[in-house]
Amino acid sequence: MSRVSLPTIEIGGEPRTRGRQYGEGARALIRTSIDYYTEAFGTSSGLTWSQVTERAAAWLEPSRAFAPDLVDEMAGIAEGAGIDLLDVLALNARGEIIYDGTFASMTPVGRDTAPAGPAGPADNAPQDEDDAPDGCTSFAMLETASGDGHVYAGQNWDWRYGVRETVMVVRVVQPGKPTVVMHVEAGQVGRQGANSAGIALNANGLGGRFDHAVGVPQTLVRRRVLDCANPADALDVLFRTRAHIASNALLTHREGFAIDIETTPGANGWMYPTDGLLVHGNHYQAFMPPQLAANYRPASPDSLIRVPRAEAGLRRCRDADGPAETRKLIHAAMSDHLGRPDSLCTHPDPARPAVRQWATLLSSCVDLTAGEYRVTAGTPCDHEYELMPWNLYDGPGADA
């Protein structure tokens, strides 16, 4: 494992092999992640880590049916880190476990399977609003909006401040598929990133409970999107996969295409850029799922502030003179503090217990034209974008 400011690791080969490389290289970070979620689950629900992994087992077969290679990769991570497969699965399904309060009536559902009907009235939010799945403000900026003619994608990744020491960047070189660069919590096989085929994926939690069927964890869905060689295949993954929880996916392609898909265990909605710019937060912007329409309230009301503030800041890029100025303006936009601590650049709220404090763990700015992947090692207001040690289009998989 090498370091910029964040830990980085490169893995390659067949699924189990690259998993072992990941587990061995990130062993300490993975154990730190388990320690944090042991405390977090204990505080929020009274569950021990053993009980968490028992519940994670519900996602094993749906995950294997959807992506057996990624389950093999998780098994390799477990071997390399000296832990159990269910420990790794729990880290990958942590949002699903946090979000779902009922386990007795779960029925496995996966790709190409019709969704089960609602088990009862849909809940609008998790059992505890501090346990809502990922925050985040994502953007796509096409060449008509960037000032320098480049295509950009990125986001502020907001999540629990306590996992900041587990954030890392992984490069995956995999036979027959594009090379992927992604930022994750240690032990996860997918989250947000970009690939050598010129596709970027940024994602945001949406909230709202739909039913109690077991769908595919978001980390696997997102990684499968990043494994795609063209945007049509990526859309196919998002529309044909029955995920367990609602989540927003913003796809950007280097040839000047972007689409945002609000995915739910039921219907999906979608939207396109306006004047080359597309921004999404943590509320439904493209449509309103009928299961939630009667009493919907955003689980993260500050999303209603973050989205227009990001849009206003990013519009300034239209007049940028070159990539350096464009990046500077993106950085300034994503550092906005209106509503602090729950602002676009989110900071821990000292009024909350430490285990429930939120922050922007990382801000990303990916230049899909140049293949440059940049992130901040923490809040963007306090950190500059750092160039990761790999160009998206260099080396194996660049032509996949």
Lowest mean pLDDT among 14-28, 117-131, 378-392: 117-131
Give the helix ranges, DSSP H, for the chain. 15-25, 27-45, 49-56, 60-66, 68-81, 85-92, 94-99, 143-146, 218-226, 231-240, 303-315, 323-333
pTM value is: 0.92
Domain locations in the chain as residue ranges: 2-11+129-387
- The string of pLDDT tens digits covering residues 144-197 is 999 999 999 999 999 999 999 999 999 999 999 999 999 999 999 999 999 999
- For residue 126, pLDDT over 80 is answered with no
CATH superfamily of 2-11+129-387: Penicillin V Acylase; Chain A (3.60.60.10)
- For residue 208, pLDDT over 90 is answered with no
Q: Which residues pair with 104 in a beta bridge?
A: none
- For residue 256, pLDDT over 50 is answered with yes
Mean pLDDT of 273-295: 96
- The string of pLDDT tens digits covering residues 71-114 is 999 999 999 999 999 999 999 999 999 876 533 333 333 333 33
Mean pLDDT of 212-231: 95
- The string of pLDDT tens digits covering residues 349-371 is 999 999 889 999 999 999 999 99
Residues 6 or more apart whose CB falls under 8 angstroms from that of 35 comprise: none
Backbone phi, then psi, for 181, in 5-degree steps? -115, 125
pLDDT of the residue at 104: 32
